[in-house]
Structure 1
Amino acid sequence: MKFNVKRKVIMQKNSILFVILSAFTVFMWYFFFVPPPEQSYRQTAQSQNTAAVSESGDNKFKRADLNESDIDNIYVKEEYINIETKQYKAVLTNKGAGVLSWSVKEKNGQWVDLVFPESAPVMANFPSLTYKIISKSDEKIVFEYVSKEGWKITKTYNLSDLYMHNLNISVEKNSKTPFPQIDLKWGPGLGTDSKELKENISLTRALVYTAAKPNKLKKLKDNSEPASLCKWTAIDNRYFLAAFIPENSTDFDKILLSRLDKKHPCSVILKAAEPKDVNKKDYSVNFYLGPKGYKHLRTYDLGLEKTVDFGFFGFLGKIAFSALTFFYKLTHNYGWAVVMLTVIIQILVLPLTLKSFKSSAEMKRMQPVIKDIQTKYKDNPQRLKAEMLNIYKSQKVNPLGGCLPMLLQLPIFWAFFTMLRNAYELRNEGWILWVKDLSAADQFMQFGSFNLNLLPLIMGIGMFFQQRMTTVTSDLSQRKIMYIMPVIFTFMFWSFPSGLVLYWLTNSLISMVEQYFIIKKMRLSS
């Protein structure tokens, strides 16, 4: 094997620049190009809501026109129904028999409303009309609207103690009256807590889950999708989910996507199919409103757990999540579970790590000799290449040996990274002392509007010493670049969830210990 020294040096420089530019790009995107908080959404949500309603037929009848009694009905007093359980609390209105607010309770006692006020009411049918409240309880709410022409809509909410519920819409008419258009709409957007508002718009997705096997989760990008080809449709963000699961998908015609533009959140609309040759039709839809806890979603056996994003290396992320859950059962602390899982991963990749460290240490030891050869034969490229090849062969060193083992570890590390960033189970779970929520930045101390996050600082310092231990180049400019990387990573991780920073910090500390003993052993043997 022949090594072109000049090409190798250029490749090393390009690799370093690529890593730095990639990290810098992620940093710039995260802090400067992530869509702004919900302020822009709030300024335009009402117009989008009106557009979505108009498109879906929620503010006018497409099959049955409003009459004078319907117009008078618009001015009937609005009434509210408040429901509160241990897991959620909801506010329903008799205007359209829709939902004004639906808040879920988290482990820290905080309530998160999944309905933005500008989007309410969601799940309404003709929100300009006022329904009569037939009955109400924590388990069942029945609304009814009767038209002068002789058609009637009865909406029945069957509520459970958890997050999965049922809505039955019964439509009756006489032989001369056309069926009114029945739609179910959620949005624009899906609520979250204040910590997630900054990137909520960019993370909000409209989804469909295909009925044909193998079932697939797809983003709803086009204007519509045939409802009969889908098991369910949903809107989700990082930690929460609103899903409509029809009991009979053939009862519905289309799944519509509505949004102003990419800078604003979307709505999903489940449009009912027009029944033929019948005077009564029931539409039954189960709906899930709650957090995206992976283990909990799996219990429904509907594929809802697929909304949890484990990233490109999803199969590795699921394995990492299962292992994290196992260690949590042992420690009852997700922070220590992250530490233990990181240690286990380091043990599993130890052979690759040792090979990488040994190769880097050998290259560092050989730097004076390499520099002398490069100086001596700088005007003779052919001789330089031959001498470099000889020195590598005589010392049994592969100059690429320090890079390739680390590249093989990247899928594992990236899967773990993505899993920690998206696992709902880490929300509001603390580690020690000031680290109260592994899904958010640790916020050790606050100075005005500036948050001092201690874990990223410790991580950056650790990375600096790690780079100093492993840097093999004698080129001053390259050494400066290597020392800049910890600074870039510190800023990049500054607002990342502390669970991610804890993983990276633990990984760096273990790597430093391994490097120390490898270097010490090599010094004793030399």
Structure 2
Amino acid sequence: MPQDNQSPDTKNIVLAVVLSSLVLIGWTFLSDRFLPAPAAPAATATAVPAAAAPAGSAPAVTGQGAIVSQAAALAASPRVAIDTPRLKGSINLVGGRFDDLVLPGYRQTLDKASPPVRLFAPSRTADAQFAQFGWTGAVAPPAGALWTADRPTLTPATPVTLTYTSPQGLTFRQKISVDSDYLFTVEQSIENRSAAPVSLAPYGLVSRRGEAAAAETNVHVGPVAVLDDMLKDTDLEFAKLKDEGPQRFNATGGWLGLTEKYWLAASVPDQKAKIAASFQYAAGQYQADWLAGAITVPAGARIATTSRLFAGAKEVNLLDRYTEAGIPRLDKAVSWGWFEIIAKPIFTLLDFLFKLTQNFGVAIIGLTLIVRALMFPVANKQYESMAKMRLIGPRMKAIQEKYGDDKLRAQQEIMAIYKTEKVNPLAGCLPILLQIPIFYALYKTLLISIEMRHQPFVLWLHDLSAPDPLTPLNLFGLIAWQPPAFIALGVLPIFLGFTMWLQQKLSPATMDPVQQQVFALMPWLFMFFMAPFAAGLQLYWCVNNLVSIAQQLYMNRKYPTPATPPAAAVIDVKPNPAPRPTPNPPANRRRKK
């Protein structure tokens, strides 16, 4: 137990820093080492089970040749336009590829003149990414097959049907429809007009050139899938595919694709189909594909299968809706991590407050006040305990001076004071421990949810999902120099450090000189620690500190520190009386007689 007048609040600051550092910086390392993901099913040696193996396989990933401009690539082939409220682009009729898709609702930067975010680009461009559906087998359409379209534009109200007729007399059709958000539905059919049955297998793929931009800690970027209701992400890193080769799994239904921090391209097979999922890298190209079992089409017959493609922004509510509509666990594409059970409700509340106030900064302030109100009973106990520690501080100091090196007796006396005054020196830890998961949940919400991307607050805070850009190190932008992130102290982290320092000043001071120096540095170290984080997170912490200061001031007035230390007689604690000897039992007394 403590033997000095060290403040529980200063201990809490240290505890908060250590735990926050472990959660925000070291979690990925720790989880990989000590909480490994379940072992992946053994990779299969073939693309599909041998009994269902078609004559071909899903198109292999390959390099794409010389780089050409986007305009040249788009002009090189006939296309069907895509025109929806949230998607613009075109489908390449050579191969029937989805290789031209932009999201007009999202800009690449804060600049209003910035171009929209591009998700798909043709295969020979520098940022190539595309999706494709088709068939494999001896009589399947070749990769460069030229399809014909029954109309020039795909809209939510007007589906488009692509048609290809093979030399063998088979007619392949892809009826493509799209909703008003980001989901394409592709019904693939085969009409066999030949004299013999044919065997083909449907496939779907998503492919991209190069690696997506690296995201922050605990945000997965790269191949991703849900197979047999299990999320596969960390075992499908870009580096793993390059170093260890293709990763293959057998599953029923599910989905797979490529993800970035805010965007997702996911191919979704028929949920009743047994598939072989493959993730691979070759010559600078990454690919995620699935291949279903072979289907036999008798002569004169027709068969059809339906697949889907999600291509768009990872909006939480929209992914939840698609999950409920039958795409298993598509909501897992958002990297909530281990604390999803807390992070998602925090997001839901924050999103509600944002829609109510139309200002993300105001929503964060509202969230902070709601969290503090819910925690008020626990926090009140904390500050009451801290205030009582201020009252008994002089008595504890007098006890230590009286007993000197007799630490055991001093500890007994201090424990007796705790018991008499009903003070729990550890009461201040609980609010901090409760705040850590809330802090982490808000951190994840700001980091990964696209709903918070590019959301302004007031004045210079134009994007609360990015660090505070206004720093005195370049005279608030007057000098054309951007400091490195770890020293780019914005106004909010500076204010955060000041409020932490003020909290310490209002708390009982520790008597240990070394601890005093450590605690004196903590607010300023924490200021640098928080500088690279999202301004919204800094705003939450600052408002939280202000509420704590107000509550602490009230408790300090309610329980003022004594002006003079108590007399020695007051601090004495009488030892427990010695136990009385147990009388001999009657049998022993008779024996003595």
TM (norm. structure 1) is 0.76
- 1:282 correspondence with 2:319: no
SS in 1 for 2:537: helix
- Distance in 1 between the 2:348 and 2:216 partners? 27
Give the Å deviation of 1:462. 1.8
Tell me by how many angstroms 1:24 deviates: 5.0
Q: Which runs of 5+ in 1 are unaligned?
A: 33-53, 66-75
Q: Determine which structure has the larger helix proportion and give its number.
A: 1
Among 132, 144, 169, the residue aligned to 1:123: 132
Q: Which amino acid aligns with 2:203?
A: D
Given the alignment, which residue of 187, 194, 213 partners 2:207?
187
State yes or no: 1:203 paired with 2:203.
no
Deviations 1:261-303 (A, max 9, x none): xxx9964212122113545442311222222222233333235
**Offset of 1:166 from its aligned partner?**
1.2
**Which of 136, 142, 153 is equivalent to 1:137?**
153
Structure number with higher relative contact order (C-alpha < 8 Å, ≥ 6 residues apart): 2
Query: Equivalent residue of 2:467, what SS?
Result: coil
Matches of 2:524 and 2:280, distance apart in 1? 42
Offset at 1:511?
1.0
Judged with a 3 Å threshold, the aligned counterparts in structure 2 of structure 1 residues 98 and 284 are, in CA distance, closer, same or farther, namely same
**What secondary structure does 1:492 align onto?**
helix
- The answer to whether 1:441 aligns with 2:467 is yes
Tell me, yes or no, if the aligned pair for 1:190 and 1:236 is still in contact at 8 Å.
no
Q: Partner amino acid for 2:116?
A: W
1:509/1:14 CA distance change after superposition, 3 Å: closer
Q: Distance in 2 between matches of 1:160 and 1:409?
A: 41
Map 1:288-367 → 2, pairs under 5 A: 288-300=310-322, 301-302=324-325, 303-367=329-393
2:453 — aligned with what? 427
**Structure of larger gyration radius:** 2
Which residue matches 1:155? 174
Looking at structure 2, the residues matched to 414 and 496 of structure 1 have their Cα atoms a distance apart, in angstroms, of 12
Q: Can you list the C-alpha shifts for 1:16-71, whole angstroms capped at 9, x where unaligned?
A: 766545555667669x9xxxxxxxxxxxxxxxxxxxxx989xxxx97269xxxxxx
Task: Please tell me whether the aligned partners of residues 224 and 257 of structure 2 are also in contact (alpha carbons under 8 angstroms).
Answer: yes
Partner SS, residue 339 of structure 1: helix
Separation (CA, whole Å) in 2 of partners of 1:202 and 1:134 = 40
Within the candidate set 234, 242, 252, 2:265 is matched to 242
Which residue is equivalent to 1:226? 250
The match for 1:113 is 118
SS in 2 for 1:122: strand
Secondary structure at the counterpart of residue 425 of structure 2: coil
Corresponding position of 1:99: 98
- Which of 178, 184, 189 aligns to 1:170? It is 189
1:379 to 405, 418, 440: 405
Q: Pick from 524, 548, 557: which aligns with 1:487?
A: 524
Q: Which moved more, 1:397-406 or 1:314-323?
A: 314-323
Q: Give the Å deviation of 1:339.
A: 0.7
| CA distance in structure 1 between the aligned counterparts of 2:561 and 2:511, rounded to whole angstroms | 23
Q: Which runs of 5+ in 2 are unaligned?
A: 30-45, 58-74, 135-140, 237-246, 471-475, 564-593
Q: Which residue identity lines up with residue 133 of structure 1 in the other structure?
A: T
AA matched with 1:436: H
Structure 2 residue matching 1:462: 3-state secondary structure: helix
Which amino acid is the alignment partner of residue 289 of structure 2? I
Aligned: 1:469 with 2:493? no
- In the TM superposition, what whole-angstrom CA distance separates every residue of 1:127-166 from its partner, at most 9, and x where no partner exists? 8514233333133444444444444543343233321221
SS in 2 for 1:271: strand
Identity of aligned residues (%): 25
What amino acid maps onto 2:146 in structure 1?
Answer: Y
Deviation of 1:472 after TM superposition, in Å, equals: 3.8
Shift of 1:82: 4.3
Q: In structure 2, do the counterparts of structure 1 residues 318 and 167 end up closer, same or farther at CA, with 3 Å as the change threshold?
A: same
Cα 1:311–1:221 shift into 2, 3 Å? closer
Are the counterparts in 1 of residues 95 and 145 from structure 2 also a CA contact under 8 Å? yes
Select between 405-414 and 394-403 the one with higher mean Cα deviation: 405-414
Of 544, 558, 562, the residue aligned with 1:521 is: 558
Number of equivalences: 477
- State the Cα RMSD in Å: 4.2
AA aligned opposite 2:129: A
Residue type at the aligned position of 2:347: F
CA distance in structure 2 between the aligned counterparts of 1:145 and 1:128, rounded to whole angstroms: 12
AA paired with 1:286?
R
- Residue 198 of structure 1 and its aligned partner are, at CA, apart by 4.4
